[in-house]
């Protein structure tokens, strides 16, 4: 999708190591974007302060073609788990993503309770009423 948001990183999902798919991933200062499709474009974004966990996965086939996937777990309602599939230098991208996630959490002064918030009220009822 064409926007005037400054992109820090961008890559396409790769097939056999080549960027020939219609899925594009990109990172700005405060959001992670996923754009899919040719005829029907679907665009999604995750606010970086909502990211809870990042991990990298590489199968043998992915290692052969020099790609890997990043699994992003977030508190985002539409995309609680997002897999950034078959991108180049997945470990470097994960580190870049991690740095910007931490930066956004510090800027927003996120508390641990806000980071771990999952919609449940775990407060104990101390007086049994």
pLDDT at 113 over 80: no
pLDDT in tens, 35-74: 999 999 999 999 999 999 999 999 999 999 999 999 999 9
pLDDT at 121: 45
Which class in CATH covers the domain with range 9-108? mainly beta
CA triplet 86, 88, 93: central angle to 5 degrees?
A: 100
pLDDT at 114: 53
Structure token digits, residue 4: 């005037």
Q: pTM score, two decimals?
A: 0.80
Assign residue 17 a region: left if phi > 0, alpha if psi is -120 to 50, beta otherwise? left
Domain ranges of the chain: 9-108
φ/ψ of residue 75, rounded to 5: -95, 15
pLDDT at 125 over 70: no
Q: What percent of the chain has pLDDT over 90?
A: 73
């Amino acid at each position: 999708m064409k926007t005037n948001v400054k992109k820090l990183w961008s890559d396409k999902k790769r097939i056999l190591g080549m960027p020939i798919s219609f899925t594009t991933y990109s990172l700005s200062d405060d959001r992670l974007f996923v754009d899919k499709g040719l005829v029907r474009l679907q665009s999604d974004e995750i606010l970086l302060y909502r990211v809870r966990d990042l991990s990298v996965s590489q199968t043998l086939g992915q290692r052969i073609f020099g790609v890997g996937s990043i699994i992003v777990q977030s508190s985002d309602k539409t995309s609680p788990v997002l897999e950034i599939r078959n991108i180049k230098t997945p470990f470097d991208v994960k580190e870049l993503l991690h740095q910007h996630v931490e930066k956004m959490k510090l800027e927003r002064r996120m508390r641990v309770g806000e980071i771990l918030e999952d919609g449940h009220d775990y407060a104990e009822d101390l007086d049994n009423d």
